[in-house]
Amino acid sequence: MVLCQGGEAAAVPAVSGKEPEVLLSREDGAGTGQPCLCPAPGMEAAGAEERRVCGCCSGLSWPRCCKAPGTKKKAACPGLGLFYTVLSAFLFSVASLFLKKIEDVHSVEVSAFRCVFQMAFVLPGLIYYKTGFLGPKGKRIFLFFRGVLGSSAMILLYYAFQVMPLADATVITFSSPVFTSLLAWIFLKEKYSIWDLLFTLFAITGVVLIARPPFLFGSNVTGIEGSYTDHLKGTIAAVTSTVSAASTFVILRKVGKSVHYFLSIWYYAVIGLIGCVIALFVMNEWRLPYCGKDRVLLVLIGLLGLGGQIFLTKALQIEKAGPVAIMKTMDVVFAFILQILFLNHLPTWWTVGGALCVVASSSGTAIRKWRQSLKKAKENEI
From the CA atom positions of the chain, what is the Rg in Å? Answer: 26
Q: How far apart are CA 234 and CA 207, in angstroms?
A: 12
Number of H helices, E strands in the chain: 14, 4
Greatest distance between any 2 Cα atoms in the chain: 90
Tens digits of per-residue pLDDT, 273-286? 999 999 888 888 77
Chain-centroid distance of CA 317 in Å reads 10
Nearest to 175 by CA among 154, 150, 200: 200
Tens digits of per-residue pLDDT, 159-177? 998 888 888 888 898 888 8
Tens digits of per-residue pLDDT, 63-77? 444 444 554 444 457
Q: Which amino acid belongs to residue 334?
A: F
Q: In 10 A of CB 127, how many CB atoms?
A: 12
Q: How far apart are CA 186 and CA 32, in angstroms?
A: 53
Helices (H), 2-106: 62-65, 80-101
Tens digits of per-residue pLDDT, 97-133? 998 888 778 888 888 888 888 888 888 988 888 888 8
Q: How far is CA 177 from CA 84, 206, 245, 321, in A?
A: 20, 14, 9, 12
CA 139, 144, 146, 147 torsion-angle sign = positive
Q: How far apart are CA 159 and CA 76, in angstroms?
A: 41
pTM, rounded to two decimals:
0.70
Q: Which amino acid belongs to residue 381?
A: E
Q: Enter the DSSP assignment of 257.
A: G
Q: Return mean pLDDT, the chain.
A: 76
